Structure 1
């Protein structure tokens, strides 16, 4: 099973994700959201930060469907998609994940021809107690 590698700055992201919350780090000085998490604001250089809950919605900004040859741990899962999602309430933030047809669906269960740049999506988290890797599902209109 794939597990995130955490560091001091990013650990809160994974703690919130384990609770089913999509939060991003923001500067407590100027309010600018930032991702990936880091100790200092690139805008005002403040070291004060906070973690803001997002609405968990966004749009597919880009995507790729890797095919073998890949690293051995990933080759057995191919083909699958990797999407870059621009958050609706923090458009400078883009998060990487996988698009699945519904919560709990396995990686690679969405046909590659169903992927569309600009598609509206929302974040979901595994309910099985596995790694808290956020996934994305299509927003139903």
Structure 2
């Protein structure tokens, strides 16, 4: 992916910034300008809390190209408190400790690098278990 695209997605990847529909109040992530709930324009910025729970998950042992250095890892469908479901890698948790319904929170972490010493490092959101006392 080219550098300009990373900059365009920065708010979405670093702070879970999506949209809210001014017509039906639907929360949208990722942002898409047209509300999937009612079909009207939805260009009002909304920043999600970053809290949610594991809806479903799987363990990846053979990573796709570009993600080999992080394998094995766990990928989850996370249902945000505001409603949308996002796909994200889980971090700071062992594979056998993950369970459906587990409360999680968003953190910004390294996603991958392009593989050479002068290439870019790509950061984005991952989710970790909620720390004790944080809820």
Report the TM-score, using the length of structure 2 for normalisation. Answer: 0.73
Equivalent residue number for residue 86 of structure 2: 95
2:17 to 19, 23, 34: 23
Q: Establish whether residue 125 from structure 1 lines up as the match of residue 108 from structure 2.
A: yes
Flag structure 1 segments of 5+ consecutive residues without an equivalent.
102-109
Say which SS state the counterpart of residue 67 (structure 2) adopts: helix
Equivalent residue number for residue 107 of structure 1: none
Matches within 5 A, 1:1-141: 6=5, 11=8, 14-17=9-12, 20-68=14-62, 70-88=63-81, 90-91=82-83, 93-101=84-92, 110-126=93-109, 130-141=121-132
**Structure 1 segments (4+ residues) deviating >4 Å:** 2-7
* Aligned 8 A contact 2:19 2:47 in 1: no
**Superposition RMSD in Å:** 2.9
Flag structure 2 segments of 5+ consecutive residues without an equivalent.
111-119
* Aligned 8 A contact 1:87 1:94 in 2: yes
* Greater per-residue strand proportion: 2
